[in-house]
Structure 1
Amino acid sequence: MIFVAYMALGAIAGILAGLFGIGGGIIVVPALVLAFNLQGINPEIVFYMAIATSLANIIFTSLGAIRTHQKKRAIEWHLVKPIAVGMFGGSIIGVNTALAIPATYLQATFGAFAIFLSLRMMFLQLDAGKLRLPGIIGLGVAGAMIGWVSALFGIGGGNFLVTWLSNRRLVIQKAVATASACGFAIAIAGAVSNATLGWGNPMLPSYSVGYIYLPALLGIVSTSVVAAAYGSKIAHRLSPQMLSRMFAWMLLLMGLRMLTSVWF
């Protein structure tokens, strides 16, 4: 039964990954926290396992989304290269930072960040067109910062990168497509780091590779890849205004959910 729930979660996460370029982590992480708690996994490592498993899943969902966005020629590869390099390095540091922070604080910060980003997207039109994209070094630095924060929370970076790119004169469909490609770098670095750093932890359940829980990963991946391609197609059918609005509300709801799960 729990495997079926993981499959359903993968389908939802995949659609969101393709639709918003977010990797699906903002849905997967809180859902996995709930599932792992119900399974009786040690609460001290539940959030770390959710982050690690989410990052491993993003490796697959980002590939599905990239394939569909590339067919639409929406990915700005000249932006992907410097941003992805920065993200790769930043995410490795982010994983190590996450493991040094108490899980409750990490979860509360996750929710606050999501709410901040949602409000930023809602009022994005007030600032649209005022900022320009930086040069290669600036893109790399921005990528490193986004990678660091994203790896802290087990998300693909699209939550932050889409907002950042959209506010720098990039149409949101292209911002989503570019974020999907960049998220792959975070996923690889984050998943490998979590697998390595969690290796041999006695609190981990069976069928874990470091902090990555394989039964959950397999269930999610089984549906998320196809769903991500479908979500990408939907993104190109929506107007930029509608896509921005949907993105903002999705972030707000997830942020509130994470904060309430900490307090209650």
Structure 2
Amino acid sequence: MPGFEFIIYYIILGSFVGVAAGLMGIGGGGIIVPTLTTLFLMQGMAPAEVVHMALGTSMATIVITSFASLRAHHKRGGVIWDVVKMMTPGILIGTFLATFLASVLSSFYLAIFFSIFMAYVSIQMFLNKKPKPSRKLLNAPGQFFSGSIIGAISALVSIGGGSLSVPYLIWQNVDIKKAIGTSAAIGFPIAVSGTLGYIINGWDHTNMSHLVFGYVSLPAFFIIAFCSYFTAPIGVKLTHILPVQITKRIFALLLITLSIKMLSSFI
């Protein structure tokens, strides 16, 4: 069981992630993974498994944050469920299979991949780069294939897929607010499949005396998920109040800072 100070850290992390999930249509993995990596290292966890544990725990918390976020967006009519239904089979398969790849990669290489991907996401977000809407919604096979790719990348960096699915949906002429809401809904099957994969692949690391279940730290999961569940609706409300561009740039700087901090832990 983590000490009292780490419980406080988890509460702060979960509360912040919940707001970010609702505000940006993301699962929060870009914040959770580097932060948990640092916190787990501070608690003496083996460096060889620390990133895997951060990825698995992050994915488990996204189950809760994405569900809370999608409910809030659904109430506002912001989810295109036909797209979610077409993408979900591909998402489930791509996400689950990618966890097997993640399990055989070292923490060092996972940290590098995560940091590079988050740097790309941060730059796109900071510059407000948006794909030019150029077509209507893809058919079912196209959505299935896209879902599998988004799911696979999401599993490797333990995100809810928002940084990929939002621009993907905008490219198909989906309104930005509906793209964010639909992305939140897409994050749920990504998180469920990814969590299952990280539990199975990390089964040998299960240690119930330390409250570790596969590659999921149960104390971190429960505390972060509990706090984020109640703060996600706040983020959804802020979407309609705050200046989106300024918020995105601040968030982009935070992501890149956390990613650099994570990478520095292994260099």
What is the TM-score normalised by the length of structure 1? 0.91
- Aligned match of 2:75: 71
Is 1:224–2:224 an aligned residue pair?
A: no
Shift of 1:244: 5.1
- CA change 1:77–1:181 in 2 (3 A) is same
Is 1:29–2:33 an aligned residue pair?
A: yes
Alpha-carbon distance in 1 for matches of 2:97, 2:82: 24
- Aligned match of 1:60: 64
- CA change 1:225–1:202 in 2 (3 A) is closer
Name the % identity.
Answer: 32
Deviates more, 1:197-206 or 1:106-115: 197-206
- Aligned match of 1:93: 97
Is 1:133–2:137 an aligned residue pair?
A: yes
Is 1:148–2:149 an aligned residue pair?
A: no
Q: Cα deviation per residue 1:46-75 (whole Å; 9 max; x = unaligned)?
A: 000000001110111111111111110010
Is 1:49–2:53 an aligned residue pair?
A: yes
Deviates more, 1:31-40 or 1:62-71: 62-71
- Aligned match of 1:83: 87
Q: Cα deviation per residue 1:90-121 (whole Å; 9 max; x = unaligned)?
A: 10111111112121121121121122233334
Question: What amino acid does structure 2 have at the position aligned with 1:133?
Answer: L
Does the CA contact (< 8 Å) of 2:207 and 2:213 recur in 1?
Answer: no
Q: Which of the numbers 131, 156, 167 marks the counterpart of 2:171?
A: 167
Shift of 1:205: 7.2
- Aligned match of 2:162: 158
Shift of 1:124: 2.8
Alpha-carbon distance in 2 for matches of 1:259, 1:135: 39
Shift of 1:129: 2.4
Shift of 1:203: 8.4
Alpha-carbon distance in 2 for matches of 1:69, 1:211: 30
Question: What amino acid does structure 2 have at the position aligned with 1:257?
Answer: L
- Aligned match of 2:180: 176
Does the CA contact (< 8 Å) of 2:122 and 2:255 recur in 1?
Answer: no
Does the CA contact (< 8 Å) of 1:117 and 1:248 recur in 2?
Answer: no
- CA change 1:140–1:245 in 2 (3 A) is farther
Question: What amino acid does structure 1 have at the position aligned with 2:110?
Answer: L
- Aligned match of 1:243: 244
RMSD over aligned Cα atoms: 2.0
- CA change 1:123–1:200 in 2 (3 A) is closer
Does the CA contact (< 8 Å) of 2:34 and 2:261 recur in 1?
Answer: no
- CA change 1:140–1:184 in 2 (3 A) is same
Deviates more, 1:229-238 or 1:77-86: 229-238
Gaps of 5+ in 2: none
After TM superposition, the structure 1 = structure 2 runs for residues 195-234 of structure 1, keeping only pairs within 5 Å, are 195-201=199-205, 206-234=210-238
Deviates more, 1:195-204 or 1:70-79: 195-204
Alpha-carbon distance in 1 for matches of 2:149, 2:160: 13
Gaps of 5+ in 1: none
The SS at the match of 1:200 is: helix
